[in-house]
Every structure is written in C-alpha cells, then in structure tokens.
Amino acid sequence: MAEQTIKFDISGMHCVNCAATIERRLREVKGITSVRVNFSTASCLVSYDTHAINKSSIARCIKSIGYTAKERMRMDQSSKGSVQIAWLIYSIAASIVMMVIMYVPFPGLDNKHLSFLQMGIATITILGSGMDFFISAYKSIKNLFANMDVLVSIGVLSAFLYSVFAVFGIFGASGHAFFETSVMLIAFIRIGKYLEERAKGRAGKALQKLITLQADKAHLLSPEGKETKVNASILKVGDTVIVRPGEIIPVDGEITEGTATIDESMVTGESMPVVKKKGDSVIGSTINKTGVLIIKTLRVGEETVLSQIITMVEDAQMDKAPIQRFADKVSNVFVPIVVAISIITFFCWYLIFYDVTPTLPLYGL
C-alpha cells in the first residue's frame, strides 16, 4: 500500500457538526485510512491509499456531501466575501426597523398594514440573510446529521410561519404575529458568525506572517558567472545564488564565498545577527545584513526549514484539544435531543393541556 496525505481547504462548513459529518462520511470511503477535519481552520487532512483512490476522487466525495474542497495553497488566504458583510448589516438594520415598528406609533397605519410591512421585511431577511442557514441545514439533514443550523432554521421558520398564519387569521382574533423574532434571531446568529470568523482570522494571522517571510525572488548565478533574477520557486538543489545586503536568503544552503552577518531571529528568536562565512550553512528566509554571499542550494520548496516549521504549525492546528473533542461529542447529540424535547413539548401542550377550538377566518386582523 502506497499511502499519501493531502490537505484540503473546505468551504461551506457552518459548525463543528459539519466537520463531524465530513469525517464520518469520508471514513466510509474505501481507500481512505484516516481523516481529520478542523472547523476552526476550515481544513481537512486526509491519508489515503494511492492504489485505491486519488485526490480528485476525495474532492468529489466531499462535494457529494455538500461542501467544496480545494487542495490547500498556502498563499491563498482569501477572506470572506463582502456579500456576507452586507447581509450582516442588512439583518441588523432590519432588526432595528422591526423594533421601531413595535414601539413607535404610526398615524394612519393600523395593525393590519404594519403586520404586512413586518412580513415583507421578514421575508426578505429570511430569503437573503438567512438563506445560508437553510442551505446548511439541508446539507446536514441530507447526510442524516443535525448541525446547529437545523435548530436555527426551525426557530426562524416556526416564528415566521406562525406569524403568517396569524396575519391571515388562522388562529382567530387571539393570534399575534412574531415576525421580529425571526429577523432578530437571524441578526444575532449573523453577528455570532462574524465574530467567529474574526477569531478564526486572528488565529491564522501568525501563520500567514510566517508564510510571507519566504522570498519570492532570487538572483541565480550561472556557471559562466551570469546573474539572472528568477522566481525562488524554480530553484533546484545545486543551483548557486547571490545574496546582497538587505536581501532575504531564498534557499537553505551553504556559503561558498563571502562573509556576512545574518538575522536569524525568525527561526531562533535571537535578536543579535550571526556571523556566517565560507562553509557555514544558512537558512532560507533569514536576512543578510552585511556582505555579499554566494550560496549553493541544498534544500528548496517543502524541504526548507521554514516550510517544515509551517507544516508543523498547520499539523498542530489540525489537532484538537481534549476539551474541543469533548465539545464535538456533546454537539453531536445536542441538536437531536433539543429537537426531540421540542416535539414532545409541542404535542403535550397541544393535545393534553390546550383546549383545541379551530377557527378558520380568512383575515383575522
């Protein structure tokens, strides 16, 4: 068996139950030996048998579950789209308008007109700001799993549908509309999601700063002594590069000519520059402070010290703390238990403690 490991960036996850769904479904796929999905970093680490499955098939499996997987590209740290921010602002504004309608009198408008106005605002909010929650809930139910968005969707739809029935008089004169509940619930969840994304962004900033330390250009020295400026990514083991004062060393290598002081604080934490001379090894992404160096390339790409540090940090982020594993286990049963209690409460209240006298006027307001 030839085993390989690949990292994916996963989009479409809304809570830890989404991550658990992906893990559970991928473990059922033949050829996949281990799966780790981290919601906080929106990433997935998959080990698989190359003779049984390939990375394209794994990505298609994740897509069939309802999420999008792309092979992790370290420099591709795209932020959330402005559309999500716009829906957040709209949901907050809609909540404020709803509160104004509730508590401020409007001369010339009766309760019937105000209720229809609230229904219009709630409808736009649900179909716009709240649509992400319904899509996530649908994906979760399709995979026979219940995430937190299932609860959000049930709460929003319950308040909205009850209010619609009340507006059209299904519950008689005693029916009251609660459109503001569905709007405010979406606004509160949107605010929580925004704060969550900000926290996740801060957690990844340190790693992103580490990634940006890598040199993107290098001065390649040919055997004839000709100097050419090239992308650092095309350098190979055995190539010779020249590094002048103030430049970032693009590769891990050995000094063949020159003496200089090098700032290695990004690796060692030592603030004082280190003197390097012919025969000494240098680390890529450190800074040449003084002197011109001719360096023979020994390691490039994923084999450099900085790349290995980044890989270890990413692997550490993929792992979960014991308290996070415990929280994931609780969340797996939390939603089904809450839904079950809600259903039992409804039927007990409706069938045992409530005197059902159905009334069906067309307009009750």
User: Which domains are delineated in the chain?
Assistant: 3-71 (3.30.70.100), 82-210+320-351 (no CATH), 218-303 (2.70.150.10)
- Look up the pTM and report it: 0.65
Q: Is 250 exposed, middle or buried (0-12, 13-18, 19+ CB in 10 A)?
A: buried
> Rounded to an integer, what distance in angstroms lies between the CA atom of residue 5 and that of residue 58?
11
Angle at 93 between CA 154 and CA 148, to 5 degrees: 25
pLDDT value at residue 73: 59
189-209: b (≥16 Cβ within 10 Å) or e: bbeebeeeeeeeeeebeebee
CB 48 within 8 A of CB 178: no
Residues 320-360: tens digit of each pLDDT? 667 767 766 777 788 888 888 988 998 888 788 765 554 44
Strand partners of residue 9: 43, 70
Kindly report which listed range (66-80, 119-133, 205-219, 322-336) carries the lowest average pLDDT score: 66-80
pLDDT value at residue 263: 92
What phi and psi, each to the nearest 5 degrees, are found at residue 155? Answer: -65, -45
Instruction: Grade residue 279 by pLDDT with cuts at 50, 70 and 90.
Output: very high
Residues 208-265: tens digit of each pLDDT? 777 777 788 899 998 888 899 998 888 889 999 999 999 999 999 999 999 999 998 8
Quote the crossing angle between the two packed helices 179-212 and 305-318, to the nearest 10°.
Answer: 160
What phi and psi, each to the nearest 5 degrees, are found at residue 354? Answer: -120, 135
